Structure 1
Amino acid sequence: MRCIAILDIGKTNKKAFLIDEHYRIVRESGTCFPEIKDEDGDLCEDITLLTNWVRDSLRELVSLPEYTVTAINFSTYGASMVYLDEEGHILAPLYNYLKPFPQGMQEALCAGSGGLDKVCSDTASPALGSLNAGLQLYRIKQTKPALFDKIRYALHLPQYISFLVTGQPLSDITSVGCHTMLWDFSQQRYHEWVLKEGLTEKLAPIFPGNRVLPATIEGSNYMAGVGLHDSSAALIPYLSSFSEPFALISTGTWCITLNPFNNNPLTPAELAADCLCYLTYENRPVKAARLFAGNEHEQEVKRLAEYYQTPVNYYQQVVFDPAIFAQLLAVAPQHQTPVHGTGLLQSSRFAERPLTDFISYEIAYHRLLMDIMEQQQFSSSLVLADTPVKRIFVDGGFSRNTVYMHLLAAAFPHMEVYAASVAQATAVGAALAIHRHWNTQQLPADLVEMRHYSHGSIYI
């Protein structure tokens, strides 16, 4: 069976897939790694462990006798860079994108390029400190000049994973164009400040995401993609399947609303509310709004499990209950000042709610999702307004969560809301990006399975 091997590396879960020519997942495995600490004591990914897992996983996938792997591609989370010396050895930890950023440094940097607001507008990147990957490299230049001098290549994480099998240090536009503060969207080149600071000398050449490179594993030759930023990869199955305008809420650690049909320039207000633009592998801008809701959900279900003495994954058994929804609406009038717009990482109201307010896990869980949905509605509306979009697709973890899906349908009553399961959309997107190089079949018509959620069904 001819297959493509895909490694999909999330902040929490690392997954390895074999996908056949009909885009069916025929093999899947996954793991999680404990974080380690960098030299400042901040938590970060263990890059050595990750590197070894990549090599071991690929060796295992290509050695399976029942499959013929013809190509390989990769998708990973963004805003993370791997620093290599002349010989390709790792020089520094894989710094966490949540690592505190030195106060005043980004303002000082941008002062010579028209100020922070202008640079944010030019690069379609909110000012997010370490979440702007370009600023991570700039911080090294400012605070660790000896390390900076040793860096030959600063590779975005997807391209580092590709480098492990191709040996070719490259960049790709989906990684460069994901809130890095590196790319000038109007000029279609690296921003003036990047050139001025000499960072381009450390950045690898940009390679198209729909082309392949020769790769060697265990002495055998394969074709490998350059790797993609995961949010851009997750959009590819939808762009391949639908021509009518739609938005996608890609859910995981982040809940990212992606609207490929919003061509309006980012306004200062949208940038202040953490909107940004991604670039597709075809270099097309996608307006996006992001929320750290998956991370909050992960933290809060731990709190619920401890309080109600249940397993951490008990929430998976909770189904949407319209009676609980109506009850909570009655006790929590919606005229309160919404919690939003003042910070991407800000928690919803639920973080401040005492669990003694709720007589059952189910009621508390509905309240948590209603609080998250308050933020989701605000976040998604930023990129949906004044566009022709009439359909919202949700993929990832929350697409299987009936509470989230029913609440989303209620939040957007004039939209068609679908739980859209492309099994592992990010991995399938990475395979689709290089389809013509490895796949002898036509694109399947049924890539996306959809379940419609009607807002009318949630009221009793």
Structure 2
Amino acid sequence: MKKIPVIVVFDVGKTNKKLFLFDEQYQLIFERTARFNETTDEDGDPCENLESLRLSVFDSLREVFKKKDVEIKAINFSTYGASFVYVNEDGNPLTPLYNYLKPYPAALQQQFYDNYGGEDIFSVQTASPVLGSLNSGMQLYRLKHERPDVFRSTRYALHLPQYMSYLLTGQAATDLTSIGCHTNLWNFGENKYHQWVHQEGIYEKLAPVMPATQVLPPLFPGGGYQIGTGLHDSSAALIPYLVCFHEPFILLSTGTWCISLNPFNNSPLTAEELRQDCLCYMTYQGNPVKASRLFAGYEHEQQLKRIAAHFGQAAMKYRHMDYQPAISLLPAGNFADRDLRIFPDDTTAYHQLLFDLATQQYHATKLVMNNGDVKRIFVDGGFSKNQIYMNMLAMLFNGIEVFAASMAQATAMGAALAIHHSWNSKMIPNGIIELKYYAGGLPSMAE
């Protein structure tokens, strides 16, 4: 039996750790999901169990290599960002994998920004809002100042996708999609590391920058496969769209955070945009992507529970609720402030919640629209499956085509596409993204 050429992609989220096999047509032919219990760091804060993650990589690969019907041609990684693994000369981790939500010492943060021009100026230079530990460069600054012995012993600080690649290649790399994502490390105006990285001795701890299209030989030769250097998950999810669509578009990636990504907007971020939670990502080709963030997925979950409890309904009821344009809605506002007793039923309340969230999303997305160049918005993730939300959004973005986009595992597919040339003998197929157009029916507005 002829073996099917495949790529293995490890897709590591905060909650789910997944392994996928894609064939040369980018059809998903195998999937495995695992969850690990979190552990704690030396301060008692929750963090990723790095050893469980490391062992799962090797255990999963052993299982995959035993499969008789496939031939592994390449391996790549996409993971959440803002997390460093500090390894010594022998490649062993020196610390836990600190959580990017770990509280950051206020005095140390103040010291940093005082030394390097103040929050507004520095944030504009690095396209990074002030986010504490979520600015991963700040984790390095903290390590240097709070644990200088560990800092001295660190040979490389590797973002998580590159650490996973390092496990299999023994070669340390830095990837632009990771360092270009609200890290405080990159000067977007000068397209190089910010001066503080050199002044603080951080640069010596960073591995050489390699393009996301680069592949490396495995540490254990003889397999006939290549290994990618890994990508930051938000940048990976954008790749299938960049490959398939060339006219200006915005990708609205929805989940806990809803992130509007405009890879066709190269204008520098302003201090005002940063204060409104705009930032820059980096494409796998190294180009800046202007983006805005909204905590809408989380807010949706909280308010949905409130509606369900108030009206005595199961939360599952709202997952596939039909859009009813005849329902009268109040002017947009903050749903958390609304008294649920004003709504005649839960259907009306839920429509109002989606209208409020879609209106907030409209304003957040408009921040990165760039002078009317954009004619299409692609919505992927959880909200793309919500008929009410999609109709509301299409109604608000009058004159712009709004599509629900669905694709089997966009993040993992992006990681596979980034190194297409190294493993796939076929052309990239059409139709890897399914689109559903929303015309946006107008809702009724209450007096």
Normalising by structure 1, we get a TM-score of 0.89
Alpha-carbon shift at residue 55 of structure 1 (Å): 2.3
Alignment of 1:315-394 (within 5 A): 315-323=318-326, 326-327=327-328, 329=329, 332-334=330-332, 349-353=334-338, 361-394=346-379
Distance in 1, Cα, partners of 2:335 & 2:99? 26
Alpha-carbon shift at residue 93 of structure 1 (Å): 1.9
Conserved? CA contact 2:179–2:185, under 8 Å: yes
1:257 alignment counterpart: 260
Distance in 1, Cα, partners of 2:281 & 2:167? 25
Distance in 2, Cα, partners of 1:310 & 1:28? 34
1:121 alignment counterpart: 124
Structure 2 vs 1, CA of residues 140 and 314 (structure 1 numbering), >3 Å: closer, same or farther?
farther
Alpha-carbon shift at residue 39 of structure 1 (Å): 2.4
Whether 1:9 and 2:12 are equivalent positions in the alignment is yes
Match of 2:385 among 391, 400, 412: 400
Alpha-carbon shift at residue 421 of structure 1 (Å): 1.4
Alpha-carbon shift at residue 44 of structure 1 (Å): 2.3
2:202 alignment counterpart: 199
Distance in 1, Cα, partners of 2:323 & 2:164? 40
Give the match's secondary structure for 1:162.
helix
Alignment of 1:233-272 (within 5 A): 233-272=236-275
Distance in 2, Cα, partners of 1:9 & 1:243? 28
**Letter of the 2:120 counterpart:** D
Alpha-carbon shift at residue 45 of structure 1 (Å): 2.1
Conserved? CA contact 1:73–1:430, under 8 Å: yes
Distance in 1, Cα, partners of 2:157 & 2:211? 18
Conserved? CA contact 1:110–1:193, under 8 Å: no
1:184 alignment counterpart: 187
Give the match's secondary structure for 1:209.
coil
1:345 alignment counterpart: none
Structure 2 vs 1, CA of residues 298 and 33 (structure 1 numbering), >3 Å: closer, same or farther?
farther
Does 238-247 or 52-61 show the bigger shift?
52-61
Structure 2 vs 1, CA of residues 273 and 198 (structure 1 numbering), >3 Å: closer, same or farther?
same
Alpha-carbon shift at residue 373 of structure 1 (Å): 2.1
Normalising by structure 2, we get a TM-score of 0.92
Distance in 2, Cα, partners of 1:400 & 1:406? 11
Q: CA RMSD in A?
A: 2.3
Does 381-390 or 364-373 show the bigger shift?
364-373
Does 302-311 or 438-447 show the bigger shift?
302-311
1:228 alignment counterpart: 231
Whether 1:22 and 2:25 are equivalent positions in the alignment is yes
Whether 1:106 and 2:109 are equivalent positions in the alignment is yes
Structure 2 vs 1, CA of residues 350 and 141 (structure 1 numbering), >3 Å: closer, same or farther?
farther
Distance in 2, Cα, partners of 1:52 & 1:356? 52
Distance in 2, Cα, partners of 1:448 & 1:290? 23
Name the % identity: 53
1:162 alignment counterpart: 165
1:342 alignment counterpart: none
2:148 alignment counterpart: 145
Does 41-50 or 436-445 show the bigger shift?
41-50
Give the match's secondary structure for 1:234.
helix
Structure 1, unmatched stretches of 5+, are: 337-348
Q: How many residue pairs are counted as aligned between the two chains? A: 442
Conserved? CA contact 1:4–1:431, under 8 Å: yes
Match of 2:402 among 406, 412, 417: 417
1:341 alignment counterpart: none
Alpha-carbon shift at residue 296 of structure 1 (Å): 3.2
1:340 alignment counterpart: none
Q: What do the CA deviations read for 1:107-132 (whole angstroms, capped 9, x no partner)?
A: 32133332222221111111111111
Structure 2 vs 1, CA of residues 422 and 277 (structure 1 numbering), >3 Å: closer, same or farther?
same
Q: What do the CA deviations read for 1:204-262 (whole angstroms, capped 9, x no partner)?
A: 11111101011257973521100001111111111111111111011223211110111
Structure 2 vs 1, CA of residues 149 and 62 (structure 1 numbering), >3 Å: closer, same or farther?
same
1:344 alignment counterpart: none
Structure 2 vs 1, CA of residues 38 and 297 (structure 1 numbering), >3 Å: closer, same or farther?
farther
Alpha-carbon shift at residue 316 of structure 1 (Å): 2.2
Give the match's secondary structure for 1:322.
coil
1:284 alignment counterpart: 287
Match of 1:54 among 49, 53, 57: 57
Distance in 2, Cα, partners of 1:304 & 1:63? 49
Conserved? CA contact 1:58–1:217, under 8 Å: no
Conserved? CA contact 1:100–1:130, under 8 Å: yes
Whether 1:208 and 2:211 are equivalent positions in the alignment is yes
Alpha-carbon shift at residue 306 of structure 1 (Å): 5.8
